[in-house]
């Protein structure tokens, strides 16, 4: 049971680490267009992201994929930027395919984010071929931390839209614009020449 908490906490701190705020930015723009009433969709998106993250860790742990860390570090802010831009262009519009597109891209983006963490995770566990159980414990920690982040975003959305009378469209536009402003320096810092 003690080892469970070690890996669970590693997953929890991976997402909530102040220096690794890319997860928080991605989750923020991912769920900016949702409310508490849509909690099933939100949990589904978060779980799909965790699944993609975990799949890439398993593939890296068992030496199936080898990721170029510079490329991955470049593509992580790209995933955040794409999601934020998608919100900016679709805010306030009715789009029936939105959730399907988000599920597919969120899974793919989860794979990219997982590859970004795979080398650190493998160095922490000590070797390739780490047990699936450890990876699942880590994934549970990630899922819990992501749900905490999403809960905070949904609470802020509720406060801003209810108390400060922002429209949902304006909330999405402001949050997505802020994230674009925060992700551009990340993108420039990881630019590949």
71 backbone dihedrals φ, ψ, rounded to 5°:
-65, -45
Give me the count of residues in the chain. 193
- Please provide the average confidence, as pLDDT, over all residues in the chain: 89
Residue-wise DSSP of 66-121: ---HHHHHHHHHHHHHHHHHHHHHHTT---TTHHHHHHHHHHHHHHHHHHHHHHHH
Range of the domain at 151: 2-189
Has residue 126 got a pLDDT over 80? no
Query: What average pLDDT does range 152-179 have in this prediction?
Result: 96
* Euclidean distance between CA atoms 141 and 163, whole angstroms: 33
In this prediction, residue 134 has a pLDDT band, given cuts at 50, 70 and 90, of confident
23 vs 87, 143, 147, CA distance in Å?
17, 11, 12
Most confident of 49-58, 98-107, 152-161: 152-161
The number of distinct structural domains making up the chain is 1
125 vs 7, 52, 122, 181, CA distance in Å?
9, 20, 5, 35
Task: Give the pLDDT confidence of 20-42 residue by residue, as tens digits.
Answer: 799 999 999 999 999 999 999 99
Query: What average pLDDT does range 80-96 have in this prediction?
Result: 87
* Euclidean distance between CA atoms 98 and 151, whole angstroms: 21
* Euclidean distance between CA atoms 165 and 169, whole angstroms: 11
Residue-wise DSSP of 25-39: HHHHHHHTT--GGGH
């Amino acid at each position: 049971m003690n080892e469970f908490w070690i890996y669970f906490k590693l997953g929890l701190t991976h997402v909530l680490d102040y220096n690794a705020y890319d997860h928080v930015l991605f989750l923020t723009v991912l769920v900016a267009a949702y409310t508490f009433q849509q909690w099933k969709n939100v949990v589904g998106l978060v779980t799909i992201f965790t699944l993609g993250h975990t799949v890439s860790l398993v593939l890296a742990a068992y030496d199936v994929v080898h990721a170029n860390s510079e490329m991955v570090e470049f593509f992580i802010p790209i995933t955040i930027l794409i999601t934020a831009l998608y919100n900016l262009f679709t805010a306030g519009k009715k789009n029936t395919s939105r959730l399907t597109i988000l599920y597919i891209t969120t899974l793919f983006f989860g794979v990219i984010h997982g590859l970004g963490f795979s080398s650190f995770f493998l160095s922490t566990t000590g070797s390739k071929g780490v047990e699936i159980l450890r990876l699942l414990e880590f994934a549970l920690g990630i899922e819990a931390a992501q749900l905490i982040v999403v809960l905070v975003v949904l609470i802020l959305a509720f406060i801003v839209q209810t108390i400060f009378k922002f429209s949902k469209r304006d909330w999405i536009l402001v949050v997505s614009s802020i994230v674009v402003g925060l992700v551009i320096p990340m993108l420039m810092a990881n630019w590949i020449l």
